[in-house]
């Protein structure tokens, strides 16, 4: 079974999932960890923020293994960039770019200032 979590606040949910998948009660997990059922209930709370060592102990007490993986985040820098449009603008002279800007400004201004239908 693979569990994914994006941040430590989800640790409680991770412990709860591992415990339930192992078919354990909170009391049974507590005995395996040499702690109390109340401590397990606190650990499983959504807002719990246990140390990594505690999280590892809890998951391993269910018979599962905790692994951490760091991966580079996908780049979103170019997601909104229209490269063809950029190339087209760069082929224009500065005067042509300024004229295109002025036209776009006037079109946008006209849309904003145009009376709305039905009013």
pLDDT exceeds cutoff 60 at 84? yes
Please indicate whether residue 75 or residue 62 has the higher confidence score (pLDDT). 62
Residue-range domain boundaries for the chain: 8-61, 83-113
Q: Rounded to an integer, what distance in angstroms lies between the CA atom of residue 86 and that of residue 45?
A: 50
Instruction: Look at residue 29 and give its three-state secondary structure.
Output: helix
Record: fold of 8-61 = 434 Repressor (Amino-terminal Domain) (1.10.260)
The conformation of residue 75, written as its DSSP 8-state character, comes to P
On the question of pLDDT at 44 being above 50, the answer is yes
Q: How far is CA 111 from the centre of its chain?
A: 36
Q: Is the pLDDT of residue 118 over 70?
A: no
Q: Are 50 and 13 in contact (CB under 8 A)?
A: no
Among the residue ranges 23-32, 36-45, 72-81, the one predicted with the least confidence is 72-81
At residue 55 the predicted structure's pLDDT band, cuts being 50, 70 and 90, is very high
Whether the per-residue pLDDT at 28 is higher than 90: the answer is yes
């Amino acid at each position: 079974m693979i569990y994914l979590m994006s941040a430590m606040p989800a640790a409680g949910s991770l412990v709860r999932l591992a415990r339930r998948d192992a078919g354990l009660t909170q009391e049974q997990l507590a005995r395996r960890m040499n702690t109390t059922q109340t401590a397990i209930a606190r650990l499983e709370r959504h807002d719990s923020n246990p140390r990594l060592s505690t999280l590892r102990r809890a998951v391993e007490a269910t018979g599962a293994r905790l692994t951490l993986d760091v991966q580079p985040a996908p780049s979103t820098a170019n997601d909104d960039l229209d490269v063809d449009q950029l190339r087209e603008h760069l082929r224009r002279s500065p005067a042509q770019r300024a004229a295109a800007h002025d036209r776009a400004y006037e079109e946008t201004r006209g849309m904003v200032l145009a009376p709305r239908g039905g009013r």
